[in-house]
Amino acid sequence: MTLEQYSVRQIKGVSAPKEEELHAFGVQTVADLLDYFPFRYEDYRIREIAEIKDGEKVTVQGVIRGNPVLQRYGKSKSRLTCKVEVDHMLVTAVWFNRHFLQNQLTPGREIVLTGKWEQQRLQMTVSESEFADKSTGMMKSGTLQPVYSVGGGITQAWMRKTIKQALLQYGTMIEEVLPHELVERHRLMPRRDAVQRIHDPGEVKEGLEARRRMVYEELFLFQLKLQAYRSLTRKRGDGIVHQVNGETIRNFAATLPFELTDGQKKVVNEIMSDMRQPAAMNRLLQGDVGSGKTVVAAIALYCTIKAGHQGALMVPTEILAEQHLRSLQKLFAGSGIEVGLLTGSLTEKKRRDVLAGLQMGMIDIIVGTHALIQDDVFFRSLGLVVTDEQHRFGVNQRSILRRKGMNPDVLTMTATPIPRTLAITAFGDMDVSTIRERPHGRKPIKTYWVKHSMMDRVLGFIRREVGEGRQAYVICPLIEESDKLDVQNAIDLYVQMQQAFPDLKVGLLHGRLSASEKDEVMSAFGANETHLLVATTVVEVGVDVPNATLMIIMDAERFGLSQLHQLRGRVGRGAHQSFCVLVADPKSENGRERMKVMTETDDGFEVSRRDLELRGPGDFFGTKQSGLPEFKIADMAADYEMLELARDDAAELAGRDDFWTNPTFERARVLLLKDQIFQGEQLD
């Protein structure tokens, strides 16, 4: 049996109620528990007073030199003080609400104190203490103690004790999962030793080595999944060969109302080269807001239709789906290509008609949300899958849509330029194409940061732009992740704008409007029947109104850099000079830095780099978005070199002919094949 087959209930001291509580942490088996790593360590190593800084939490050892003094106040509160000699200095030790220690604090007894040091008063507020003459074997002093994520009835002490017991019972059964050659090549600690040292680091050096080993393992196994999947799809060679000549593509491009940029032409060539190959395409197209990715996707969709297949475009929101529907219908006007829409808000009858049209091939291109990956959606011949704002979809969602056809080509797009480290992680199974330049005639957006006290000038700015025939957005502040609160906030702002501009037509757009209501609002704004649009972040991506030249973002400090940049990208889409005004009174240095970055650059790649620096990888894509994995121990900001190393090793191994058959790699294969993206794959 392996550790995955032993329930945590089999660990001595784990009762049925405790087992249930562990399940809430995702811990079902002994293997899960041993891989439940601490997120930091409490340092109980004994320090000398001379090296301690004021305010530090430290551990010291000394001898009690006076009788304790107990003061009681309130109904059940107390303050216990005692003089302790530490490093030939007399220190005042203070315990709050620990009156029961009074009789144990006898002069001459050695004691170890952990707490906050106050330099001026030579005083320590004690959080933990133990007597040096106790030989219980559970002394913390002199050690690094692991700190776990716990809650409910699971305490730190219980978790430490239980993991220690699990190591005692099952530690010898910990198996190596990495190929021996990689352990040797990178001088990694054996897995059994590393797991022991992660939970009981002893010396700092050993703890760091153990962490290095486990970080590499986690990143390597994740990358192995991506690289093995990539290798399989390439070797299989059973994708769709799109036999479309260059003349057909050039003729379609000539019908567009604008000339493609050099960047667009380059990525079109990369995509067309992939689509002509027998191996299914799996390519990421990243480009800044307004760089023309949708047109590139339209050309790819046109090619799959001309080759006799259907195309699907999946997006994260209904408003974006509706926007893409209109864009594609406009681009394909007169071509005979039928574009349909499939979202969760369709009536049952309309949905049935769309599903029938797809299955019979009467709909050439379907634009939709997650509704596209439901079980009852079938295509006559799906040739190309395009996903927009790919970071909002997980790799498994991507593979579900892909399985709707016979290995269709896959093109994924993102308007959030992704730093290299995150691209390797979130999109490691893809080839990457990048558009860096703006379409011809686009001017840089001028961005300003103003305080709320300058709101009169902002309103004057709106009046000026509308007076010149332009339009403006006013984005309401994000209160919290609550549609209801954000909608109410938008309504309040809408009323304020109506009062400020009684002679202008003000529109309101938020996520709780029906699809038809959203269409009506956006149609009015697109036709310049509405001068000013108050909106929540539903306009963050996809909304394209060239006549809108002014973006006002209220309480801009509540947004992340990438989201601010996305919102800014809703203007600057026409020939006129556009502006973005950030109304903010940030209280933190981080908030002020975000405002500064936005005024200094409108380059999305630079914005994303600074965003990663300020927020870290865990928040880069947002908490509800699923493109980024949650690692147990690895930190992409700190471990980026290890990430690249693991990616290269995984790609080398996955590309070897004997990977799926050699017994040397059996353990890695077993772990790999548990992932659902390999279900139904031919592996040798």
Q: Give, to the nearest 10 degrees, the angle between helix 589-600 and helix 604-615.
A: 170
Does the pLDDT at position 627 exceed 70? no
Residue 418, token pair as written in the block: 């992704």
The CATH number of the domain where 431 resides is what?
A: 3.40.50.300
**Does the residue 682 lie in any domain?**
no
**Does the residue 440 lie in any domain?**
no
Q: What is the pLDDT of residue 465?
A: 96
Q: Is residue 332 domain-shared with residue 450, that is, in the same domain?
A: no
- In Å, what is the CA distance from 498 to each residue of 226, 452, 468, 472, 503? 52, 18, 19, 14, 8
Q: What is the pLDDT of residue 138?
A: 45
Q: What is the pLDDT of residue 231?
A: 80
**Does the residue 215 lie in any domain?**
no
**Does the residue 269 lie in any domain?**
yes
- How far is residue 240's CA from residue 360's CA, in Å, rounded to a whole number? 19
pTM above threshold 0.95: no
Q: Is residue 450 domain-shared with residue 578, that is, in the same domain?
A: yes
CA contacts within 13 A on the Cβ side of 598: 30
pLDDT digits (tens, 9 = 90+) for 44-95: 888 899 999 999 999 999 999 999 999 998 888 999 999 999 999 999 999 9
Q: What is the pLDDT of residue 595?
A: 95
Q: Is residue 363 domain-shared with residue 326, that is, in the same domain?
A: yes
Q: Is residue 452 domain-shared with residue 579, that is, in the same domain?
A: yes
- How far is residue 85's CA from residue 219's CA, in Å, rounded to a whole number? 49
Q: What is the pLDDT of residue 618?
A: 46
Q: Is residue 494 domain-shared with residue 564, that is, in the same domain?
A: yes
Q: Is residue 469 domain-shared with residue 551, that is, in the same domain?
A: yes
Question: Domain count of the chain?
Answer: 4
**Does the residue 227 lie in any domain?**
no
Higher pLDDT, 662 or 338: 338
Q: Is residue 362 domain-shared with residue 478, that is, in the same domain?
A: no
Q: What is the pLDDT of residue 45?
A: 87
**Does the residue 238 lie in any domain?**
no
Q: String of b and e for 262-272 (b: at least 16 CB within 10 Å)?
A: ebbebbbebbb
Does the pLDDT at position 631 exceed 90? no
Q: What is the pLDDT of residue 628?
A: 56
The CATH number of the domain where 168 resides is what?
A: 1.10.150
Mean pLDDT of the chain: 86
Residue 374 belongs to what domain range? 254-435
Count other C-beta atoms under 10 Å from residue 681's C-beta.
Answer: 13
- In Å, what is the CA distance from 337 to each residue of 75, 305, 330? 80, 8, 11
Question: Which residues sit opposite 331 in a β-bridge?
Answer: none
* pLDDT > 70: percent of the chain: 89
Residue 167, token pair as written in the block: 């190591």
Residue 204, token pair as written in the block: 């700092």
* pLDDT > 90: percent of the chain: 52
**Does the residue 218 lie in any domain?**
no
Q: Is residue 493 domain-shared with residue 538, that is, in the same domain?
A: yes
- In the listed set 408, 435, 462, which residue is the last one of a domain according to the structure? 435
Q: Is residue 315 domain-shared with residue 408, that is, in the same domain?
A: yes
Q: Is residue 460 domain-shared with residue 578, that is, in the same domain?
A: yes
Q: Is residue 498 domain-shared with residue 466, that is, in the same domain?
A: yes
Question: Is 570:543 a contact under the CB 8 Å cutoff?
Answer: yes
Q: Is residue 93 domain-shared with residue 127, that is, in the same domain?
A: yes
The CATH number of the domain where 80 resides is what?
A: 2.40.50.140
How large is the average pLDDT for residues 210-239? 86
pLDDT digits (tens, 9 = 90+) for 364-397: 999 998 888 888 899 999 999 998 865 555 556 6
- In the listed set 123, 142, 161, which residue is the last one of a domain according to the structure? 142
**Does the residue 134 lie in any domain?**
yes
Band of residue 677 on the pLDDT scale cut at 50, 70, 90: low
Question: Is 645:215 a contact under the CB 8 Å cutoff?
Answer: no
